[in-house]
Structure 1
């Protein structure tokens, strides 16, 4: 039986630090261990992340599943920016480990090392409302090198389990939205989904809002998939996804239909598109069980490779978290051309639900 680790962060930010409550339980059971601790102020981590993010986004202009404002486009060759992005990624990696291995947090880390087995499956939920911290790739913590079957997910401090009746099914029903494809190739996403065994996939290609709304209401879906352009407005943390070449939607604009879909058994939403944490935060408010998003703008090739690797692992019967971890780590093979590709995919989890 796998283990569930919850790191619940109290009020705070990287400039003030956080109180931390650690809980450990066997999967599906009440916690058998709880302890309290602290994460110290880490302004250097905040600076390292901001510097890396700026360099990363400049290095990847073009061929992304996002549209940047024109003011962000530069004449600098993205190839020239790779060494700077690599240097700043090293600094961010270093600052993540300095923070999570700090003396203030060490007692909780030692309790994790004492109580967890390196051979067991481990889900680690980071419960925080701090938007900047949710963006930082904390899977760079050296703890994960010791635990090859551990994967971190983001979750909210506010959650609820929605009761739903789900009779056994012989196949998985997927609603796949293929949105605005300007400048990218999302037909590869379609081919990969069409090859899935034991799956019934309905494709909506650049749909109008009314059609998407109706499909969510009319049928019982297990998985909602989106490929296309998306982005998060940093000042509001609201996510937008372009369902066609002229229309973008927020989660709020589909709220009633999504609430209905979740009540009818929707288990997983996958946004194989850019900068999806805003969408994940907004969808978590509706208490969906699980989501997979990209924490930053994602190159087209990286999105395609992640989907291919994830579907291969997941359709072979591996647990969701293991499938995401392996698919994410395989992206390192693309990092000569796409820096930090393996940092991008992240699970967002409703703590009240147990993933497949």
Structure 2
């Protein structure tokens, strides 16, 4: 059938129409092919060539076993044709292709001899060669360094596809065929665009070839032809041609940058192959004769599938030719004889290996600057000081976000009342002129007043391990404790752990109280973190107060608890913990179920304990630790009242009934507070400082009788640890849990997300399609997504209690993005 001339990927010299008698052209072509191959094989079996055929066959017998190599040796013979021309034969024994294979290199002069289908030479059959012989073409003049491949470490092979003049052609099939490799290789398309001048398209193609990032393979699709002295020419645009000689300097640069293989899926490519091998390229596949567009697309489709399966270019070409022979024999007979591979004898055949799991993991290995950034971010995320700083700033941000979005918890009825012994308290009462150790008669007065106001749970955040200087003070406190116990008030005194891990609390020699009257609980804390149970029998100060508060508020719990009594000779604390554990293990009522929930949230996660123990002290980690949520304003956690006001007869009457409240007697910020006279005061968290700038630190319970204004209580300069205990009590009772996801984990996840996003952008927006508009739109889109992720992150903290690092991971993510976004865009 008649085909449009433009469907050939070559230069049409002339065309026209002529009336012909009906002819079976297909049959005639098959007959011509049969005659050609018969005469070709008969000539190659001529007696004059017996010695060379025997020598080649003999080489297949003496070839070393597969997997072994011999010192490089090369046999060269010349096969004379009937016209006095020579065909060079190279049989390289040092290259073992695989089990049962030998490679024979052929070079032909003049060029007319190269048009014969040498790949069809049935060599070795008459001698029963033990190894299959693969015929590869070469040139008579090649550079000695052509086969040497400069190793360039790339995560994926890079393939440049040049699409030439499309007149009469459709490159859609070529594009689709090459894009089947997009998961295995980075592919970029270049070629003529409407509106480009000949100079512009030449410059675009040459700059792409000489790209500084280098290429592993070069593919050309379009029209081409032979051209004397020019190394062949390519049609790069309508009526615009470019010779290989013009491109040679750029191809040499590409070779230095790692170019290994070229495929010219176009017509009449013998000159092109000779030229490219001559300038140092190691492997080239061309079509020796004019080829139809459909045949070219069928070939490249099969060839790309073979590359995707991990075949080398020779095996891929042979498989593609076999497919042409079987599938296109009726439509395009003899098409399988047209492709040829030209190769340097010492070249390692190009292939795109299948990516194993190990290779996929190796692809994640960062580049140098990525490694520096990743190491820096991970290092900072692991430093405890950097973690504390980050958490502190993040909680400040959460405070601002809470207020802006109206998500501040109500301050109407917090469960805790703080009685703060502040600086005014120590200054106004002579008993506290030396406030450390605390005067016990002063504590006695506070306990009596709070008992009279109906307090059912009183926590004393003071350590009374020594003996008072005045026995009368001890006696006063003992009488106050007895009075409270007789009124069923739960009293909890602070304690610490001694050098032998023993409990150091109430001094037994002082006889302040018996174990059945009051409880003792350790007041150890690490600021910013919840103090949780180390075991079921452990009861930190805030945890114990929260259990007492919950138990005293609900009869279905309180009825099952042993009350404080001066009669029973038991350890009240141990008895209480045992009874609470029993109720939590088998909850029968909703209140008991809440008790079980409080207990369930009071334990350290195993991974938290593991990270704390496994890292050295200077790098100690607290993975998935529970945080104290200072983003909640203090007024929503507790109500405060100064100790001096509680003892002032003119003011104490203003204090409402404290039934249903847990009252804590705590230091209120005076300098000498703490075991070592400084340890009770911590730096003010940024979040708390923010709230103090918005709301005064005054007592909502009492007012100044003279002015009617709320009375100042506590301090705004530092954070007494008693206030942190109050936050913990609140969190236990409200089941507010804030988990700090390890910064290092988030940084690592951000690095992976950044890497895969960058890889997706590289595949979705190749350089030949990368424009300034796309870069601007993508930059704005990712900037918007970054802002949105920040808002989601803030809300996630409030709604789910999950604290995620944001700044370092975001910077690292953008570091990967900028590698793509900073690419030079293509002209629009």
TM-score normalised per structure 2 = 0.34
Does residue 271 (structure 1) correspond to residue 259 (structure 2)? The answer is no
Which range moves more in the overlay, 269-278 or 205-214?
A: 205-214
CA contact (8 A) 2:149 2:260 kept: no
Distance 1:140 1:281, change over 3 A: same
**Counterpart residue number, 2:11:** 67
Q: Secondary structure at the match of 1:275?
A: coil
CA contact (8 A) 1:243 1:249 kept: yes
**Counterpart residue number, 2:174:** 189
**Counterpart residue number, 1:243:** 236
**Counterpart residue number, 2:473:** none
Does residue 139 (structure 1) correspond to residue 125 (structure 2)? The answer is no
Does residue 306 (structure 1) correspond to residue 299 (structure 2)? The answer is yes
Tell me the alpha carbon deviations over residues 153-192 of structure 1, each in whole angstroms, 9 at most, x when there is no partner: 2211211115663133331101101111111221111111
Distance 1:121 1:74, change over 3 A: farther
Question: How do 1:1-356 and structure 2 match up within 5 A?
Answer: 61=5, 63-70=7-14, 76=20, 80-116=24-60, 120-143=100-123, 150-160=133-143, 161-162=145-146, 165-196=150-181, 197-206=183-192, 208-219=201-212, 220-233=214-227, 238-332=231-325, 333-356=327-350
Q: Secondary structure at the match of 2:109?
A: coil
Partners of 2:294 and 2:229 in 1: CA distance: 29
1:271, CA displacement in angstroms? 0.4
Unaligned runs of at least 5 residues, structure 1: 1-57
1:134, CA displacement in angstroms? 0.8
CA contact (8 A) 2:152 2:257 kept: no
Tell me the alpha carbon deviations over residues 301-331 of structure 1, each in whole angstroms, 9 at most, x when there is no partner: 1111111111111221122221111111110
Q: Secondary structure at the match of 2:332?
A: coil
TM-score normalised per structure 1 = 0.76
Partners of 1:62 and 1:337 in 2: CA distance: 18
Report the structure number with the largest CA radius of gyration.
Answer: 2
Unaligned runs of at least 5 residues, structure 2: 62-97, 194-200, 351-828
CA contact (8 A) 1:274 1:295 kept: yes
Tell me the alpha carbon deviations over residues 117-173 of structure 1, each in whole angstroms, 9 at most, x when there is no partner: 696233221023320111110222222778895432221121111566313333110
Partners of 2:190 and 2:105 in 1: CA distance: 33
Which range moves more in the overlay, 161-170 or 301-310?
A: 161-170
**Counterpart residue number, 1:39:** none
CA contact (8 A) 2:283 2:343 kept: yes
Distance 1:99 1:73, change over 3 A: farther
Tell me the alpha carbon deviations over residues 40-72 of structure 1, each in whole angstroms, 9 at most, x when there is no partner: xxxxxxxxxxxxxxxxxx989552112311158
Tell me the alpha carbon deviations over residues 262-291 of structure 1, each in whole angstroms, 9 at most, x when there is no partner: 111110110011111121122222110100
**Counterpart residue number, 2:640:** none
CA contact (8 A) 2:6 2:169 kept: no
More helix by share: 2
Distance 1:115 1:241, change over 3 A: same
Partners of 2:17 and 2:232 in 1: CA distance: 21
CA contact (8 A) 1:120 1:149 kept: yes
Partners of 2:104 and 2:22 in 1: CA distance: 35
Across the two proteins, how many residue pairs are aligned to each other?
A: 298
CA RMSD, 1 decimal: 2.7
Which range moves more in the overlay, 242-251 or 161-170?
A: 161-170
Greater RCO structure (CA 8 Å; 6+ sep): 1
Distance 1:60 1:180, change over 3 A: closer
Distance 1:74 1:153, change over 3 A: farther
Q: Secondary structure at the match of 2:232?
A: strand
**Counterpart residue number, 1:19:** none
CA contact (8 A) 1:151 1:321 kept: no
Q: Secondary structure at the match of 1:175?
A: strand
Distance 1:206 1:116, change over 3 A: same
